[in-house]
Amino acid sequence: MIFTAIARGWSDLFRPGAMKVLLKGIALALGLLVALWFGLMWLIGLFVPDTITLPWIGEVSWIGSAIGFASFGVMLIASVFLMAPVTSIFTGFFLEDVAEMVEAEHYPQLPAVRNLSLAESLGDTLRFFGVILGANLLALLIYPFVIPLAPMLFLGLNGYLLGREYFQMAAQRRMHRAEARALYDANRGTVWLAGAIMALPLSVPIVNLAVPVVGAAVFTHLFHAIRGR
C-alpha cells in the first residue's frame, strides 16, 4: 500500500497540473531570492559610499563594487540552502490543486470535497511549514551532539512531521478535523513509515524541490487506500 502510493505520487509529478504547481513554487522562490539580493544591494548603496579615502592609499573607488560582487556570491551560496524551504512554502499554497488533480485522475467517482475557508486553508499551510521549519532548526542544534544518530533523527523527525501533516491535509478535504485526526491515530505507524520514505529525498539537492508536490500526491493516494480498506 505504501509503495504503491509512493510510486503513484512520483508518477503524478509529471502530470501537467502537478508540474505547473512545482514550477510556480520555484519561480516564486527565485523571485523572492532575487528581490532579497536587490534589497541588499540597495542597502549597500545607502551605507557604503562609491569612493572612500584610505590612509597611505588615497582614494579607493572600487569598495562599493567589491561589496556588491561579494553580496552576490553570498546570495548564491545562501540560495543553495534557502531554495528548498522557500520553494516548499510557496508550493504549499497550491497543494490543494495537486490533491484535486490526483483525485480527478485516479478517483473520479468521488463527490465534491468539503469546502475549506481561505483563512482555514492559509492557516493550515502556514502552520504546516512553520512546524517543519521550527522542528528542523531545533534539530540542527541537536545533530552535533548525536552525529552517528543524526541521519536516523532526521528521518524519524521528518517522517513524523511530513506523514502527519500531509495525511491530515489530504483527510481534511474529505472529513472533519476530528475524523481526520482519528483516522491518523488509527494508522500512525503506516503514515510515519510513508513519511520517513518521503523524507529521504529532502537531502538530495534539486530533487528536494519536488517533495511538497509529490508528498501531497502520495498522501492523497495513501488516504484513499486506508479509507477504502
pLDDT value at position 64?
59
Q: Give the residue numbers spanning the domain of 122.
A: 2-227
- Per-residue pLDDT, averaged over 15-19, amounts to 86
Residue 178 has pLDDT above 70, yes or no: yes
What's the total number of domains in the chain?
1
Cα distance between residue 90 and residue 96, in whole Å:
12
- Per-residue pLDDT, averaged over 9-16, amounts to 90
- Per-residue pLDDT, averaged over 8-29, amounts to 88
Concatenating the DSSP letter of every residue in 191-206 gives HHHHHHHHHGGGGSTT
- State which H helix or E strand residue 59 sits in: strand 58-60
Q: Which of 53-62, 148-157, 198-207 has the lowest mean pLDDT?
A: 53-62
Q: Which of 58-62, 136-140, 199-203 has the lowest mean pLDDT?
A: 58-62
pLDDT tens digits, 96-123: 888 889 999 999 888 887 666 666 666 7
pLDDT value at position 15?
87
Residue 82 has pLDDT above 70, yes or no: no
pLDDT tens digits, 128-160: 777 766 776 777 677 777 778 778 888 888 788
Tell me if 188 sits within 8 A of 216, measured CB to CB: no
Helix-helix angle 188-199:2-12, to 10 degrees: 40
Residue 54 has pLDDT above 60, yes or no: no
Cα distance between residue 168 and residue 163, in whole Å:
8
Tell me if 59 sits within 8 A of 51, measured CB to CB: yes
